[in-house]
Amino acid sequence: MGGAAFDVKPLAGGIGAEVIGLDLDREIDAATADALNAVWLEYAIVLFRGIGTSNESHVRLSRAFGELEVHPVESIRLEGAPEIIRLAQKAGDTDQMTYRFAGEDIVGRIPYHTDLIYTTTPNRGAILRMVEKPAVGGETGWIDTAAAYDALDAETKARIDGLEARFDFVWNLEVMRFGKPEGVALVDKGSVPYPEFPDVAHPLVWVHPISARKSLSLSTVHLIDVVGLSREEGDPILEHLVEHTLDERFAYVHDWEESDMVLWDNWRTMHTARGVPTGLDRVVHRTTMKGEHQTGRLL
């Protein structure tokens, strides 16, 4: 990128981009922040390889993209850096939710979803940083739902224009209605309490509040049905859209190295955590940018 304090390289497969050469040992000036935001808006998924070497560098980068949320659960905030939450799977933990996939017990797997889609105001985005990489597994994947929308045929675009989908907070993958992993079985719920949320409706086709690009709003974990249509009529629409969107041509899956950071636009992506086999350690840190645009309505 000419004139910017970094270079940009599209990621293999055409989804997302890598920022190269950014110096996080010093403050990010306004011009550099503007250039970074332009990259974020264009690519939605942005990799910063190997430069997340401290909490300070993580927060410094995150603040270039907007106001940060402080998580309401104090126990997972980092001491001295309340903007960061620690997400860990540790060998021997007894409070972790565990599922069996194809005969293997996995901790921390979450299929494709959009953060806070079960509320009216999803957050703007987030940055994930790998702190302790597991020996096996632990990848994170993202889908560019704008690219998926662009690839739909004109007839489907016309059919879904103006439709809303209903979303609910679903924590048990066994009851997912769309995109459920084959043969998934809950082994251990863990000890974490789960709140309840009222159902919400979001447009099936989101219009990005900043770029005005259209994308598909599907969040497979939380997707329930089409508002105003019977399931006999609405389910085939959602099944087609989910199958189309989960195609790997719209996805970037990151095989982490420690100190990697990935930024994503929550208004234009879904993401998945592939989890790790029980008995392995994985620690990531996360910052979250607040969402200031209401995209849904309570039902």
pLDDT of 193: 79
User: How much is the average pLDDT of 2-26?
Assistant: 91
- pLDDT over 60 (residue 156): yes
| Half-sphere CA count of 60, side-chain side, radius 13 A | 17
Give the integer Cα–Cα distance in Å for 53 and 51.
5
Question: What number is the average pLDDT over the span 271-279?
Answer: 95
The pLDDT-based confidence of 3 (bands split at 50, 70, 90) is low
Mean pLDDT, the chain, rounded, equals: 95
pLDDT higher than 80, residue 94: no
Map out the domains of the chain with their CATH numbers: 7-293 (3.60.130.10)
**Average pLDDT score over residue span 171-183:** 95
The residues, ordered by sequence, that sit 6+ positions from 150 with a Cβ below 8 Å of its Cβ are 214
- Cα–Cα dist 68/78, whole Å: 14
The pLDDT value recorded for residue 22 is 97
Per-residue pLDDT for 96 more than 60? yes
Give 223-246 pLDDT, tens digit per residue.
Answer: 999 999 999 999 999 999 999 999
The β-bridge partners of 110 are 273
Going from the C-alpha of 86 to that of each of 5, 132, 242, 261, the distances in angstroms are 30, 11, 30, 14
Under the banding of pLDDT at 50, 70 and 90, the label for residue 28 is very high
Q: If DSSP states are collapsed to H, E and C, what string results for 127-145? A: EEEEEECCCCCCCEEEEEH
Q: What is the predicted pLDDT for the residue at 4?
A: 67
Give residue-wise pLDDT tens across range 133-143. Answer: 999 999 999 99
Tokens 């309490």 locate to 193
Does residue 2 have a pLDDT over 50? no
For the residues 215-229, what does the mean pLDDT come to? Answer: 98
For residue 1, what pLDDT band results from cuts at 50, 70 and 90? very low
The predicted pLDDT at position 192 comes to 76
